[in-house]
Structure 1
Amino acid sequence: MKKITRRSFITVCGAAAAAMALTACGGAASSTVASSAAESTSSSAAAETAAGTLSGNVATGGSTSMKNVIAALTEGFAEVEPGVTVSYDPTGSGAGITGATDKTLDIGLSSRALKDDEKNDVDGTTVALDGIAIVVNKDSKVADLTVDQLKQMFTGEITNWKDVGGDDGEIVLVGREAGSGTRDGFESIVDVKDSCKYAQELTATGAVISAVEANPLAVGYASLSAVGDTVAMVTVEGVECSEDTVKDGSYKIQRPFVFVTNKSVTLSEQAQAFVDFATSKDAADLIRTAGAVPVNE
């Protein structure tokens, strides 16, 4: 038998140790690569399920005034979750609250704040504010009106501009057609529901603005976002109509647009996703384009 010297033993052990080290390093490298690949696959899967994978229906209904806002939000949401269908039944705010209460709707729509007794069964989430500007001809001397003066003007109790600080001349009342959300909002807030003495009832906000622009004796109302520099906005009780005054509540001719949900029901995944989208900063421009004031941006 060949004798093993101390030097050769050390050499063999060193070689073995090196081989073991290389094997261990190779194993660690393989493990790291495998782990990274797994994490990458997991991240990709999470990204794929983050959006665009929901399906089913979301039943909404209620306020007719929220028609344009709901249409804009539904269109925007469809780009994020194309598999979800959002339905809208324009039955009025009261019916929307009732639908959420009796669970026939996923989301009720109300263009007024909830009453105290209604809050026992449902929650309200404000998604937008409706600011309605009062517009007059740019040649008008009237710069400010009170809510009471507006009420008297639109019901025919005040018929001459001189009675509210303007020149002598018969007031020409310009409004929207029956069924218009803007008309419903204005008449509800000023308390002139179904009692206005309109000279003209027009089918579009732009038509109202054009009519007021063309007639120095005209007065009308329009969503804040639609008013340009062709007409003048009067202040109401000293407060101008702006996004800031609508948001802080100092401008009186405004109201909330509210999503109403049942307290005892957990929303479906798709309904919750729609609520989250509607109350996100991403929805602000959609709400503004629809003629309302966003509350989250």
Structure 2
Amino acid sequence: MLSKHKLVLLVLFLILGLSGCQKLSQSSLTVAGSTAAQPIIEAAAAQMRQSDPHFYINVQGGGSGTGLSQVAEGTIDIGTSDVFASQKSNIDQKKLIDYKIAVTGITLIINPQAQVHNLTKQEVKAIFTGKLTNWHQVGGKNLSIIIINRAAGSGTRLNFEKLALSGKSSLIAQEQSSSLTAYQTVKDTPGAISYVAFPDAKAGVIKPKIDGVSPNEHNVLTNRWKLWSYEHLYTRKRVNSQTKIFLKYLTSPSINKLLKKFGFIPISSMQVVRNQQGKVNYLK
């Protein structure tokens, strides 16, 4: 038989243990969606865990479409997206709140064997719609053009088709689930071309100019380089306290240093704004 003193200690231990589990459960949230935004969200989540080890944030990719549909359904807490919710079908944007945390440029990437460093916008359209099929047609090597697309749910793909192809769909071709795998495929495949967010355009590929304009941060700030998108965080209108805490951090000026480290552009640095219809206005 347990003594009265030991029985009291056992009951206290069980109560404290259960309350500890409840705290851990209450301090968890799930973020999913844009693979372009995933590295910055993971880094921010790691910083939050350093300040509070019980604050667990499950960060997933899946693409912007996945993030939007899952947050709209209420199966995740935050959906990350490279596109406005209104650009996706079957998403009721009235149920969601949009937090823009950053801007990212989108660049073409070409395998170096093509030896093409400049394209016109018309040539880009002709390549991705199948009218041009060999790099020698645009001043490069006699090498077949191999298109590498992002998957259909990708926000990067939707923005690329809207901004670079004037809303036309890219030719049906090989698809990659993330910007990083698209980059690696282009790097390893002679004649390949794709499009990725600036942070994922690493060494070993050509980042061509379009109509003589270089894909860099300075040109994005002024909209000279027109291939760019917002990184959105979407939530439902009612969120739990942990989501509020994480959102407060992600939308505060303190996140800017982390954004720059990962190659994103803080919203406050932009000299233009773009609405969901695509209209650009210059800030005074």
Fold-level match, TM-score > 0.5?
yes
Task: State the Cα distance separating 1:112 from its structure 2 match.
Answer: 0.3
The answer on whether the counterparts of 1:176 and 1:203 sit within 8 Å (CA) in structure 2 is no
Whichever residue aligns with residue 142 of structure 2, its letter is G
Report the Cα distance in structure 2 between the residues aligned to 1:120 and 1:173, rounded to whole angstroms.
40
Between 1:59-68 and 1:250-259, the stretch displaced more is 59-68
Q: Deviations over 1:132-167 (max 9, x none)?
A: 222343983542331x53243134321123433x14
Task: State the Cα distance separating 1:208 from its structure 2 match.
Answer: 4.7
Whichever residue aligns with residue 93 of structure 1, its letter is S
Q: Which residue of 2 aligns with 1:131?
A: 105
The answer on whether the counterparts of 1:59 and 1:87 sit within 8 Å (CA) in structure 2 is yes
The answer on whether the counterparts of 1:247 and 1:295 sit within 8 Å (CA) in structure 2 is no
1:157 aligns with 2:131: yes
Provide the secondary structure at the position in 1 that maps to 2:45. Answer: helix
Report the Cα distance in structure 1 between the residues aligned to 2:28 and 2:175, rounded to whole angstroms.
43
Q: Which residue of 1 aligns with 2:210?
A: 236
The answer on whether the counterparts of 1:161 and 1:170 sit within 8 Å (CA) in structure 2 is yes
Report the Cα distance in structure 2 between the residues aligned to 1:173 and 1:121, rounded to whole angstroms.
40
Q: Which residue of 1 aligns with 2:244?
A: 272
Whichever residue aligns with residue 184 of structure 2, its letter is A
- CA 1:98–1:211 in 2, change beyond 3 Å: closer, same or farther? closer
Whichever residue aligns with residue 105 of structure 2, its letter is G
Q: Which residue of 1 aligns with 2:47?
A: 76
Q: Give 1:86's match in structure 2, choosing from 57, 63, 66.
A: 57
Q: Which residue of 2 aligns with 1:195?
A: 171
The answer on whether the counterparts of 1:154 and 1:198 sit within 8 Å (CA) in structure 2 is no
Matches within 5 A, 1:97-116: 97-115=68-86
The answer for unaligned runs of 5 or more in structure 2 is 1-25, 270-284
The answer on whether the counterparts of 2:183 and 2:194 sit within 8 Å (CA) in structure 1 is no
Matches within 5 A, 1:1-297: 56-115=27-86, 118-136=92-110, 137=112, 140=115, 142-146=117-121, 148-164=122-138, 166-167=139-140, 169-173=142-146, 175=148, 184=157, 188-189=161-162, 190=165, 195-197=171-173, 204=181, 207-208=184-185, 210-211=187-188, 219-227=193-201, 231-263=205-237, 265=238, 267-290=239-262, 292-295=264-267
Larger Rg: 1
Task: State the Cα distance separating 1:185 from its structure 2 match.
Answer: 6.0
- CA 1:259–1:66 in 2, change beyond 3 Å: closer, same or farther? same
- CA 1:169–1:176 in 2, change beyond 3 Å: closer, same or farther? same
The answer on whether the counterparts of 1:175 and 1:200 sit within 8 Å (CA) in structure 2 is yes
TM-score (norm 2): 0.63
Q: Deviations over 1:65-91 (max 9, x none)?
A: 433332222222222332211124545
TM-score (norm 1): 0.61
- CA 1:173–1:120 in 2, change beyond 3 Å: closer, same or farther? same
Report the Cα distance in structure 1 between the residues aligned to 2:183 and 2:65, rounded to whole angstroms.
29
Percentage of identical aligned residues: 19
The answer on whether the counterparts of 1:225 and 1:289 sit within 8 Å (CA) in structure 2 is no
Count of residue correspondences: 238
Report the Cα distance in structure 2 between the residues aligned to 1:79 and 1:61, rounded to whole angstroms.
21
Aligned-pair RMSD on alpha carbons? Answer: 4.2
Report the Cα distance in structure 2 between the residues aligned to 1:94 and 1:182, rounded to whole angstroms.
7
Q: Which residue of 1 aligns with 2:15?
A: none
- CA 1:181–1:125 in 2, change beyond 3 Å: closer, same or farther? same
Report the Cα distance in structure 2 between the residues aligned to 1:109 and 1:183, rounded to whole angstroms.
12
